[in-house]
């Protein structure tokens, strides 16, 4: 049987989460692999959330915020954007494929787009196969 | 300034409301008026001829008076331009617009003409005086409009009396399954609001009650409410349903649009507010037999909150303002023979289908055709919806049933196109193998997201046929639908298992009595008339009386909600400032004329 | 290539009685309730559309109006009171005026005064003609016998002369009808065989009006049929048995029995039609064009004068009979000369011809694009 | 630690959820989770019986936490919070699992969907454990209102407030009031005078002591929160560019910025801009207003054609219907016939949207005056070309007429294009300014299309009229009043509750590095030089949590979105 990746999605309350709801109200179907966690703003997403998710067995993490310039908090998404490369760098150090973590901008009106993003993400992670991060991370943390 | 008054009638129903001769005579005596010309009904106007007249009389301003003078304005504007005058100086004095369309509105007609002659908008000159405002409000009708208005006012911390004729609030919306175009379930939107109304400390909810009379003046109305007795103690009833279990009488359920039955003691639907049972006198054996027969429910009730001998009482209320939100009825499909409603079991009205497809309906939302069953009591076969019944292979939806039709309702009912598309979606979603046909004349997808919804329905594989189906007949047990498919230039005739009639909306029963009670006019079709079509769609002739929702004319949920909040705004304005506005009728011709004069001066 | 629409045609058709067509908003109700509206001839909506848009050539090539018998169902159920039935009626009038190459028909339909004037004129000419002829060779007191005022032999010749003229006019117009509706359409190739095999339809439709009988109410058809048969009987009697008709004063039952039957048929049917039109008793009698009145009154008058003339003759009142005869002719002649080729009466030729051509065209159309099952069509839509 | 007693409620939402998700199974699996003492599944949790069920359990089972698995929290979180409150439990002890929008409506495989639902419920149960009792703050409601846009909507709203004796600041970009309606002569379907309506409104507004009309002015910035906004308005003083800025305190904002007309020249096959006598509806309005219905060459047109849906309901431009054009077109047909009795009018439409009161009658009357209605298909709009010199008309419009099935050409001397409505180019700017979102067409998004057509996702900011979507005058006026009604309600109460969700600094942990200070877009974090610590002004904080994520010493806590809560949730979804 095909491998069904577990993906954790962190969505900002104003754009992305609303967009996900819109996907629902307009009955746009998408892959069931993403489990959504709501935060007020993408800027709230602490790198440790992502690490925690990967550590607890997520095969991928999806981070969504408002489009640049449309942030409900005017510039929160820029903060997230700036923070993201650092996070990727950190993950690279742990030897985690960068495709496992993905940042996307989804507006309140982009239900269809949200569905597409989820489907792509799922496919990408499925291609990578199960993540062995949790063990590495665990041991790594044990060393410290 | 030299003014010429021309009186032309567009020949609408208003024509006989105003005595044109006396208006003309009055106008001719107004200062500055050089000439008054009677043009008759639907005059054939030649701008060139008019231009000559204007030039001859050296008119600097032309006043067009009549039931709907706007229809003739361009001719006069052009004539004015041809005559070298100021085109801006063609003024309208519309009897219809400013409420001079009821019987004997001659005085109002004169006032309207006077304002136009002075070049002042009537609405500006005819500003009624302020009145003292009683802070309580009466809302008539517990549908979405009434609920919305009541909540708006109550949330502002003001007292509201909500009077509802049936046993629960919620109105028609509570019967619906989904709402277009977003398809979120009606219950999910409505029930929380119903709950809020039920719990609100500022709302005095009176269900199963009717307005008997209304007296007094704006800001200080006295309303008499007839509170029919539920014969069940609202407060202590826990809706355990034991009474209904023992009740021997079953009658068609109003809430299920007659496609399911209820008992003589019943709760309209499980989520009803108030969440309590009531006794339907007309069918209760005990009541009908004056207490000699039955009474099983009263004995059964564990909390003994049923008093079958209880009687209604009359309540007097002091209120400052009134919101009329009485909604609508649907046209009786029986009156339209070609569609065979009432003859063929599987010809359904929109409301019946709403209940059929509704999760809380008799089939739990399964779309099935009626199946024959032997009724022991009646000793005859009857057609009923059976959850195990066969699902239809093909469904036809007919638009404009009784709407846009001179023999029934000449007006468009505004919601049918969209709810029909919604039906098509539900059919295709629940029965992917079933064919669905829409017979329409114009697809009125005008609202936010409607056009996109129409596109989506087509993509889902519903066949849309431009052409109103003409007849539904039966050939050896199989329904046949016939109609012209205009866009592919052929007459279609094919078998269907189910026909859905998109029946139009009609004014609610008793709205004529309510209108006379409140002193607000109704239009030729029976909808309540607003103060001004454009400028004041929720106000009325009568001060502090507002209309909201469909009772003013067919409209969809968002527009109804908006109107309800708008009505609330007018009322809150009065309560907050402590000053309401008197009725337009309180102004005399002299008042208006004087005010117009001062406005010109200032 | 786009066809030019002519917004002015609507105005032109008003005098023909089509003022309500503008109200139509094309719900297609009429075409669906009409018992005659079937592929490939779907009406009345489509012709109404052409009329609204002023597609004159399209309209001229339409047979649809002739396939309508005005049973009134469409008008009864029309949501906008656009009177589809009456529109078809007015289209028939208009088409008649188009088939007629002389242009007289158009003048008749556009102004009833003109038609009445023409009738009177022809009537006067007839009177003058026959009086001069009568006095030139006969005695006004003698109805039959040697020096009869109007000897049947000469009248017979006159009849035949007239018949030839009328036939010529009718045929030329019928030919134009064929050309407009069938002949000129290059796209459809009508197999000659079809013309032959379908030929039987002409007499069938003419003598039975069987299509009319498919309407919901049968009485209009019955009366219409009575009128047609009586008229035909009279025609035959006059064309072939005039001498026996005019013989007398004794009644010659071999011919007169038919004469009586036909006369009764004519009087009854015209009276019934007149009454219905006056009372507007049914949808199809609500709107009466002037040409309808002129025709019915003329026909009734002809029948009545015929009867009187007959009675006077049998009662051996030569002078009175002759005067009535002249009056009778003064009505018959205009009726034949004007009504048959140029006005209402012409439909006795056009209708059966239309039925015939309709079937002929259907064959050709079937060849061009075989009809497919409607719902199936939709499914692929 | 001892898990708090939790109740789990799985809503079937009729069949909306139950159709796909096995709600009972979800409830059963939830019942196994630590701390869960009761788990139920019910048809409509949001209904009266549903809420009473929760209240009853809270009492009977002494529940300390409640999890509702139902629709999106954006829909019913307030409902259930209220339910908890009435049952005497702190409303923030609620957590919702969104198993409708995120599960039953987007997946069709029952097993998988149920699995996902279980995971989401698990996460919710994990999270709710860490919830803390929070108290909503009650702040004063400033009774003044800022209205952006001086069209019919803005003026109507303004008069409502003024009528209640409340101060209004009416900001209009242009140098005059009236908006687009001021460009119209008559209104459909009754041909009432638009200028009378506008004149009436303008007089009332300018004469009113409570309304401060600011022309040539623009809102520069909007800070603060519901009930306590501070707006800066810049007044253009014409010539020398930027003028003085004024700053006003308002409790609410009503956005009535209206629409802009579609640019007809974008539709190439209508030749607008090339053919002299192809004009837009607004250009024709001007003609009517001046009483000169004639061609550019000054001739009287014999044939006038009106084309509907220019830029609307079209595959290449806007998919939506502009809602007013059909009736306006009928109005023009009527007006042309009145001004030029000898003319012929053809009206080229797609579907005749005569839906409102009095409109169908108007449609019928327009047909009775011999307007020629021609129907075209959205895909293939008409094409206009110059006629030959020997034609009796100037232009010919070729259209595949749907009701006849024929491709025809119709003569025209004057063509009126019914240009649709379009979101204004500055709508993005405005949206950012007042912090609301726009849909794909640029219209402002209401907080709920049916329940709440005038409110937005930002509390205290309302939208009315055509800036939310195309609509006619009555509907615009109703919306403007609806918005006013909302606000008047708040004003009448005098106080408003604001969400208890905001950030907090643990001053013991704070190192005073001041990273957060620059970060906060609402300058809600203050640095106290004395204690050399930062602290949050809760009323100003909008709880984005940027500071929380950024604080190097983890001293800032996002109430209701704490690390523990989110960590617990992560564990839940992955369990």
Give dist(CA B546, CA B538) in Å, integer. 6
pTM, rounded to two decimals: 0.88
Q: How is residue B92 written in tokens? A: 């309208």
Q: Is A20 on the interface with D (CB under 8 A)?
A: yes
Q: What is the pLDDT of residue B121?
A: 95
Residue B20 pLDDT exceeds 50: yes
Name which of A36, A56, A79 is nearest D574 (Cβ-Cβ): A56
- The CATH code of the domain at B330-506 is 3.50.50.60
Give percent above pLDDT 90 in chain B.
82
Residue B414 pLDDT exceeds 50: yes
Q: Considering the domain boundaries, does residue A121 fall inside one?
A: yes
**Quick one: average pLDDT of B354-368?**
89
Helix (H) or strand (E) holding A37: strand A34-39
Q: What is the pLDDT of residue B103?
A: 75
With CB atoms and an 8 Å threshold, state whether B482 touches C26: no
Residue B81: name the closest of D283, D287, D187, D276 by CA.
D287
Q: Is A29 on the interface with B (CB under 8 A)?
A: no
Side-chain half-sphere exposure of D469, counting CA atoms within 13 A: 21
Q: Return phi, psi of residue D422, to 5°.
A: -140, 150
Domain ranges of chain D: 6-136, 145-258+424-496, 263-420, 503-558
Q: Is A139 on the interface with B (CB under 8 A)?
A: no
Residue A135 pLDDT exceeds 60: no
**Quick one: average pLDDT of C186-202?**
89
| pLDDT tens digits, C84-113 | 999 999 999 999 999 999 999 999 999 999
DSSP strands (E only) in B54-97: 61-66, 90-94
- Judge: domain D503-558, CATH 3.30.70.20: yes
Q: Is B480 on the interface with C (CB under 8 A)?
A: no
Other Cβ atoms less than 10 A from the Cβ of D86: the count is 15
Q: What is the pLDDT of residue D236?
A: 79
Q: What is the pLDDT of residue D1?
A: 58
Q: What is the pLDDT of residue D293?
A: 94
Q: What is the pLDDT of residue C377?
A: 45
The region of weakest confidence among B278-287, B325-334, B577-586, C366-375 is C366-375
- The mean pLDDT of chain B is 93
Question: Which residues 284-303 of D have a C-beta within 8 angstroms of C?
Answer: 303
Helix (H) or strand (E) holding D284: helix D281-290
Q: Which residue has the higher pLDDT, D539 or D213?
A: D213
**Quick one: average pLDDT of D316-326?**
94
Residue D500 pLDDT exceeds 90: no
Sorting pLDDT into bands at 50, 70 and 90, what band is C381?
very low
Q: What is the pLDDT of residue C246?
A: 81
Name which of A15, A29, A53 is nearest D570 (Cβ-Cβ): A53
Domain range holding A42?
A: 7-143
Sorting pLDDT into bands at 50, 70 and 90, what band is A108?
confident
Place of tokens 């977003």: B182
Q: How is residue B211 written in tokens? A: 């307005």
Give dist(CA C381, CA C371) in Å, integer. 15
Sorting pLDDT into bands at 50, 70 and 90, what band is B398?
very high
- The CATH code of the domain at B137-227+312-327+508-584 is 3.50.50.60
Residue D526 pLDDT exceeds 60: yes
Other Cβ atoms less than 10 A from the Cβ of C133: the count is 16
Residue D277: name the closest of D299, D310, D260 by CA.
D299
Q: What b/e readout covers B269-285, taking b as 16+ CB neighbours within 10 angstroms?
A: bebbbbbbbbbbeebbb
**Quick one: average pLDDT of B389-396?**
95
Question: How many contacts (CB atoms, under 8 Å) link A and D?
Answer: 140
Q: Please say whether the beta carbons of C354 and C47 come within 8 A.
A: no
The answer, yes or no, to whether the previous bond of B179 is cis (omega within 30 of 0) is no
- The ipTM, to two decimals, is 0.90
**Quick one: average pLDDT of B569-593?**
93
With CB atoms and an 8 Å threshold, state whether A109 touches D563: no
Give dist(CA D478, CA B568) in Å, integer. 11
Q: How far is B182 from chain A (nearest CA, A)?
A: 6
| pLDDT tens digits, D488-499 | 999 999 998 878
Chain B contact set for A25 (CB, 8 A):
182-184
Region class of D549: left (phi > 0), else alpha (psi between -120 and 50), else beta? alpha
| pLDDT tens digits, D443-488 | 999 888 887 889 998 889 999 999 999 999 999 999 999 999 999 9
Chain A contact set for B183 (CB, 8 A):
25, 27
Q: Considering the domain boundaries, does residue A1 fall inside one?
A: no
Residue D185 pLDDT exceeds 60: yes
Place of tokens 């059966």: C352
| pLDDT tens digits, B205-253 | 999 999 999 999 999 999 999 999 999 998 888 777 889 999 999 999 9
Residue C375 pLDDT exceeds 50: no
Q: What is the pLDDT of residue B263?
A: 95
User: Subunits that touch chain A (at least 3 Cβ pairs < 8 angstroms)?
Assistant: B, D
| pLDDT tens digits, B33-50 | 999 999 999 999 999 999
Q: Is D567 on the interface with A (CB under 8 A)?
A: yes
- The mean pLDDT of chain D is 93
Beta pairing partners, B137:
B160, B321
Chain B contact set for A27 (CB, 8 A):
183
- Judge: domain B3-126+594-601, CATH 3.40.1400: yes
Place of tokens 């987007």: D106
Q: What is the pLDDT of residue D2?
A: 77
Angle, helices D73-86 vs A16-25, to 10°: value is 100
Q: What is the pLDDT of residue C369?
A: 72
Q: Please say whether the beta carbons of B532 and B97 come within 8 A.
A: yes
Residue D65 pLDDT exceeds 50: yes
* Architecture of the domain defined by D263-420: 3-Layer(bba) Sandwich (3.50)
Q: What is the pLDDT of residue D253?
A: 98
Q: Please say whether the beta carbons of A92 and A41 come within 8 A.
A: no
Q: How is residue D321 written in tokens? A: 């219907």
| pLDDT tens digits, C108-133 | 999 999 999 999 999 999 999 999 99
Q: How far is C95 from chain B (nearest CA, A)?
A: 23
Sorting pLDDT into bands at 50, 70 and 90, what band is B360?
confident
With CB atoms and an 8 Å threshold, state whether A35 touches D113: no
Give dist(CA B152, CA B474) in Å, integer. 51
Cα of A54 vs its chain's centroid, Å:
11
The CA-to-CA distance between both ends of chain A, in Å, stands at 38
Name which of B404, B405, B486 is nearest C28 (Cβ-Cβ): B486
Give dist(CA D305, CA D410) in Å, integer. 8
Give dist(CA D508, CA D517) in Å, integer. 17
- Closest residue on chain A to B456 (Cα): A26
Comma-separated ranges of CATH 3.50.50.60 domains in chain B: 137-227+312-327+508-584, 330-506
- Identify the burial level of C31 via C-beta atoms within 10 angstroms of its C-beta, where 0-12 means exposed, 13-18 middle and 19 or more buried: buried
Give dist(CA A6, CA D349) in Å, integer. 52
With CB atoms and an 8 Å threshold, state whether D374 touches C58: no
Give dist(CA C356, CA C42) in Å, integer. 17
| pLDDT tens digits, C308-336 | 999 999 898 989 999 999 999 999 999 99
Q: Is A68 on the interface with D (CB under 8 A)?
A: no
| pLDDT tens digits, C64-86 | 999 999 999 999 999 999 999 99
Residue B186: name the closest of B419, B377, B20, B391 by CA.
B419
Q: What is the pLDDT of residue A1?
A: 66
**C-alpha R_g of chain B:** 28
Q: Which residue has the higher pLDDT, B223 or D76?
A: B223
Question: Which residues 73-102 of D have a C-beta within 8 angstroms of A?
Answer: 73-74, 98, 100-102
Q: Is D372 on the interface with C (CB under 8 A)?
A: yes
Q: What is the pLDDT of residue C372?
A: 52
Comma-separated ranges of CATH 3.40.1400 domains in chain B: 3-126+594-601
Residue A144 pLDDT exceeds 50: no
Q: What is the pLDDT of residue D157?
A: 98
| pLDDT tens digits, B157-184 | 999 999 999 999 999 999 998 889 888 7
Residue B42: name the closest of B93, B7, B90, B8 by CA.
B8
Residue B1: name the closest of B600, B417, B602 by CA.
B600
Residue D62 pLDDT exceeds 70: yes
Q: What is the pLDDT of residue A50?
A: 92
Fold of D145-258+424-496: FAD/NAD(P)-binding domain (3.50.50)
Name which of B465, B488, B491 is nearest C37 (Cβ-Cβ): B491
The answer, yes or no, to whether the previous bond of B296 is cis (omega within 30 of 0) is no
Q: How far is B172 from chain C (nearest CA, A)?
A: 28
Structural class in CATH, domain D6-136: alpha beta
CATH number at residue A30: 3.40.50
Q: Please say whether the beta carbons of D535 and D507 come within 8 A.
A: yes
Sorting pLDDT into bands at 50, 70 and 90, what band is A136?
low
């Amino acid at each position: 049987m095909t491998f069904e990746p577990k993906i954790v999605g962190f969505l900002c309350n104003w754009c992305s989460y609303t967009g996900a709801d819109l996907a629902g109200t307009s009955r746009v179907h998408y892959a069931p692999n993403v489990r959504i966690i709501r935060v007020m703003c993408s800027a709230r997403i602490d790198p440790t959330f992502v690490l925690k998710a990967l550590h607890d067995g997520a095969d991928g993490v999806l981070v969504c915020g408002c489009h640049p310039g449309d942030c409900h908090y005017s510039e929160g998404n820029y903060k997230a954007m700036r923070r993201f490369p650092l996070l990727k760098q950190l993950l690279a150090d742990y030897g985690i494929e960068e495709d496992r973590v993905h940042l996307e901008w989804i507006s309140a009106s982009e239900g269809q787009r949200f569905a597409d993003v989820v489907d792509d993400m799922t496919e990408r992670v499925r291609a990578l196969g199960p993540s062995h991060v949790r063990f590495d991370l665990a041991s790594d943390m044990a060393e410290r | 300034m030299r003014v010429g008054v021309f009186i032309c009638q567009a020949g609408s129903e208003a024509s006989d409301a105003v005595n044109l001769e006396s208006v003309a005579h009055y106008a001719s005596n107004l200062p500055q008026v050089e000439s008054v010309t009677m043009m008759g009904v639907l005059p054939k106007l030649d701008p060139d001829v008019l231009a000559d007249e204007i030039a001859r009389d050296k008119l600097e301003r032309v006043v067009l008076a009549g039931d709907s003078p706007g229809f003739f304005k361009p001719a006069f504007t052009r004539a004015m331009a041809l005559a070298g005058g100021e085109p801006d100086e063609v003024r309208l004095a519309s009897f219809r617009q400013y409420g001079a369309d009821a019987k004997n509105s001659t005085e109002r007609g004169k006032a309207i003409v006077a304002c136009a002659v002075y070049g002042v908008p009537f609405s500006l000159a005819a500003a009624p005086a302020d009145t003292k405002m009683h802070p309580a409000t009466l809302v008539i009708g517990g549908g979405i409009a009434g609920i919305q208005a009541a909540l708006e006012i109550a949330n502002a911390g003001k007292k509201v009396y909500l009077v509802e004729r049936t046993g629960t609030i919620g109105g028609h919306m509570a019967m619906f399954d989904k709402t277009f175009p977003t398809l979120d379930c009606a219950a999910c939107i409505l029930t929380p609001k119903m709950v809020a109304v039920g719990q609100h400390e500022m709302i005095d909810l009176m269900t199963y009650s009717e307005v008997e009379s209304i007296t007094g003046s704006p800001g200080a109305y006295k309303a008499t409410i007839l509170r029919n007795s539920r014969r069940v103690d609202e407060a202590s009833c826990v809706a355990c349903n034991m009474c209904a279990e023992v009740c021997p009488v079953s009658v068609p359920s109003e809430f299920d649009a007659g496609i399911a039955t209820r008992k003589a003691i019943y709760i309209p639907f499980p989520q009803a507010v108030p969440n309590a049972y009531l006794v339907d006198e007309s069918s209760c054996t005990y009541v009908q037999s004056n207490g000699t027969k039955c009474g099983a429910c009263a004995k059964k009730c564990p909390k003994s909150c049923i008093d079958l001998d209880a009687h209604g009482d009359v309540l007097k209320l002091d209120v400052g303002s009134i919101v009329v939100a009485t909604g609508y009825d649907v046209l009786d499909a029986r009156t339209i023979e070609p569609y065979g409603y009432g003859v063929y079991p599987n010809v359904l009205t929109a409301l019946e289908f709403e209940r059929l497809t509704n999760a809380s309906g008799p089939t739990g939302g399964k779309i099935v055709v009626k199946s024959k069953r032997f009724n022991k009591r009646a000793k005859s076969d009857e057609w009923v919806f059976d959850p195990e019944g066969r699902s239809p292979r093909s469904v036809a939806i007919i638009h404009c049933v009784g709407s846009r039709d001179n023999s029934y309702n000449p007006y468009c009912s505004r919601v049918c196109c969209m709810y029909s598309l919604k039906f098509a979606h539900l059919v295709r979603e629940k029965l992917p193998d079933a064919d669905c046909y829409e017979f329409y004349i114009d697809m009125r997808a005008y609202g936010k997201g409607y056009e996109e919804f129409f596109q989506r329905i087509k993509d889902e594989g519903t066949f849309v046929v431009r052409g109103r189906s003409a007849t539904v007949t039966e050939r050896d047990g199989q329904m046949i639908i016939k109609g012209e498919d205009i866009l592919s230039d052929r007459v279609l005739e094919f078998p269907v298992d189910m026909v859905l009639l998109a029946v139009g909306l009609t004014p609610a029963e008793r709205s004529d009595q309510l209108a006379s009670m409140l002193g607000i006019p109704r239009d030729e079709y029976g909808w309540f008339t607003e103060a001004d079509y454009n400028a004041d769609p929720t106000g009325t002739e009568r001060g502090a009386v507002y209309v909201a929702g469909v009772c003013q004319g067919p409209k969809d949920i968002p527009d109804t909600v908006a109107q309800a909040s708008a009505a609330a705004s007018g009322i809150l304005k009065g309560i907050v400032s402590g000053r309401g506005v008197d009725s337009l009728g309180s102004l005399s011709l002299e008042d208006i004329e004087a005010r117009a004069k001062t406005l010109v001066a200032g | 290539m786009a066809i030019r629409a002519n917004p002015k045609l609507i105005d032109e058709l008003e005098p023909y009685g089509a003022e309500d067509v503008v109200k139509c908003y094309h719900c297609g109700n009429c075409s669906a309730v009409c018992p005659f509206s079937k592929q490939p001839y779907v009406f009345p909506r489509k012709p109404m559309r052409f009329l609204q848009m002023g597609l004159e050539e399209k309209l001229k090539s339409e047979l649809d109006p002739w396939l309508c018998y005005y049973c009134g169902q469409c008008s009864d159920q029309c949501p906008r009171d656009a009177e589809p039935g009456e529109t078809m009626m007015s289209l028939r009038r208009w088409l008649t005026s188009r088939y007629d190459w002389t242009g007289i028909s158009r003048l008749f339909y556009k102004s009833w005064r003109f038609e009445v004037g023409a009738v009177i004129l022809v009537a006067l000419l007839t009177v003058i003609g026959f009086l001069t002829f009568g006095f030139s060779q006969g005695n006004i007191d003698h109805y039959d016998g040697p020096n009869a005022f109007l000897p049947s032999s000469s009248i017979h010749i006159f009849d035949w002369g007239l018949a030839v003229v009328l036939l010529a006019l009718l045929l030329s117009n019928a030919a134009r009808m064929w050309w407009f509706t069938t002949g000129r359409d290059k796209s459809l190739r009508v197999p000659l065989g079809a013309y032959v095999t379908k030929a039987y339809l002409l007499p069938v439709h003419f003598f039975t009006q069987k299509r009319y009988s498919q309407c919901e109410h049968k009485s209009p058809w019955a009366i219409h049929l009575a009128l047609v048969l009586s008229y035909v009987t009279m025609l035959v009697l006059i064309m072939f048995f005039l001498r026996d008709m005019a013989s007398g004063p004794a009644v010659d039952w071999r011919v007169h029995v038919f004469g009586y039957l036909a006369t009764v048929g004519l009087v009854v049917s015209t009276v019934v039609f007149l009454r219905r039109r006056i009372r507007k008793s049914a949808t199809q009698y609500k709107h009466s064009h002037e040409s309808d009145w002129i025709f019915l009154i003329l026909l009734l008058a002809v029948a009545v004068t015929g009867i009187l003339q007959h009675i006077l003759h049998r009662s051996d009142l030569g002078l009175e009979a002759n005067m009535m005869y002249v009056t009778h002719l003064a009505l018959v002649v205009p009726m034949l000369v004007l009504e048959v080729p140029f006005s209402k009466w012409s439909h006795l030729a056009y209708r059966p011809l239309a039925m015939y051509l309709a079937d002929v065209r259907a064959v050709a159309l079937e060849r061009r694009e075989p009809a497919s099952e409607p719902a199936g069509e939709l499914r692929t839509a | 630690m001892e898990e708090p007693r939790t109740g789990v409620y799985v809503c079937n939402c009729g069949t909306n959820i139950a159709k796909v998700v096995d709600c009972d199974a979800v409830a059963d699996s939830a019942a196994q989770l630590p701390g869960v003492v009761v788990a139920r599944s019910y048809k409509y949790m949001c209904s009266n019986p549903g809420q009473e069920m929760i209240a009853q359990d809270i009492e009977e089972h002494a529940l300390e936490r409640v999890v509702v698995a139902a629709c999106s929290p954006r829909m019913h979180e307030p409902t259930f919070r209220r339910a908890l409150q009435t049952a005497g439990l702190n409303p923030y002890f609620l957590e919702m699992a969104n198993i409708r929008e995120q599960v039953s409506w987007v997946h069709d495989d029952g097993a998988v969907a149920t699995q996902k639902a279980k995971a989401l419920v698990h996460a919710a149960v994990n999270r709710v454990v860490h919830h803390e009792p929070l108290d909503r703050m009650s702040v004063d409601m400033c009774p003044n209102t800022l209205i952006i846009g001086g069209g019919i909507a803005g003026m109507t709203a303004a008069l409502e407030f003024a009528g209640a004796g409340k101060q209004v600041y009416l900001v209009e970009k242009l140098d005059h009031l009236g908006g687009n309606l001021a460009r119209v002569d008559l209104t459909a379907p009754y041909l009432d005078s638009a200028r009378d309506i506008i004149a009436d409104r303008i007089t009332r507004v300018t004469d009113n002591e409570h309304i401060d009309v600011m022309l040539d002015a623009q809102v520069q910035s909007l800070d603060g929160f519901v009930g306590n906004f501070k707006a800066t308005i810049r007044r253009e003083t014409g010539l020398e560019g930027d003028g003085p800025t004024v700053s006003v305190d308002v409790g609410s904002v009503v956005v009535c910025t209206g629409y802009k007309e579609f640019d007809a020249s974008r539709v190439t096959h209508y030749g607008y801009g090339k053919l002299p006598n192809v004009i837009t509806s607004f250009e024709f309005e001007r003609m009517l207003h001046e009483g000169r219905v004639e061609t550019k060459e000054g001739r009287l047109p014999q044939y006038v054609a009106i084309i509907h849906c220019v830029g609307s309901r079209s595959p290449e431009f806007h998919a939506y219907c502009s809602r007013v054009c059909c009736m306006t077109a009928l109005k023009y047909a009527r007006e042309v016939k009145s001004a030029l009795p000898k003319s012929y009018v053809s009206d080229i439409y797609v579907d005749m949207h005569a839906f409102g009161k009095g409109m169908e009658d108007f449609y019928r009357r327009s047909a009775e005056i011999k307007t020629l209605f021609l129907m075209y298909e959205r895909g293939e709009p008409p094409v206009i070309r110059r006629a030959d010199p020997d034609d009796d008309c100037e232009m010919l419009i070729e259209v595949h007429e749907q009701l006849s099935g024929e491709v025809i050409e119709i003569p025209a001397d004057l063509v009126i294009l019914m240009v649709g409505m379009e979101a204004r180019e500055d709508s993005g700017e405005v949206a950012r300014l007042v912090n609301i979102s726009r849909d794909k067409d640029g219209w402002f998004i209401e907080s709920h299309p049916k329940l709440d057509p005038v409110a937005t996702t930002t509390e205290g900011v309302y939208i009315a009229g055509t800036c939310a979507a195309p609509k006619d005058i009555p509907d615009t006026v109703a919306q403007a009043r609806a918005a006013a009604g909302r606000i008047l309600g708040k004003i009448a109460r005098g106080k408003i509750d604001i969400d208890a969700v905001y950030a907090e600094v643990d001053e013991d942990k704070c190192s005073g590095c001041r990273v957060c200070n620059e970060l906060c877009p609402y300058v809600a974090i203050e640095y106290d030089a004395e204690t050399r610590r930062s602290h949050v002004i809760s009323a100003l904080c909008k709880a984005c949590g940027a500071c929380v994520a950024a604080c190097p010493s983890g001293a800032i806590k996002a109430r209701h979105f704490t690390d523990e809560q989110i960590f617990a949730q992560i564990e839940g979804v992955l369990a």
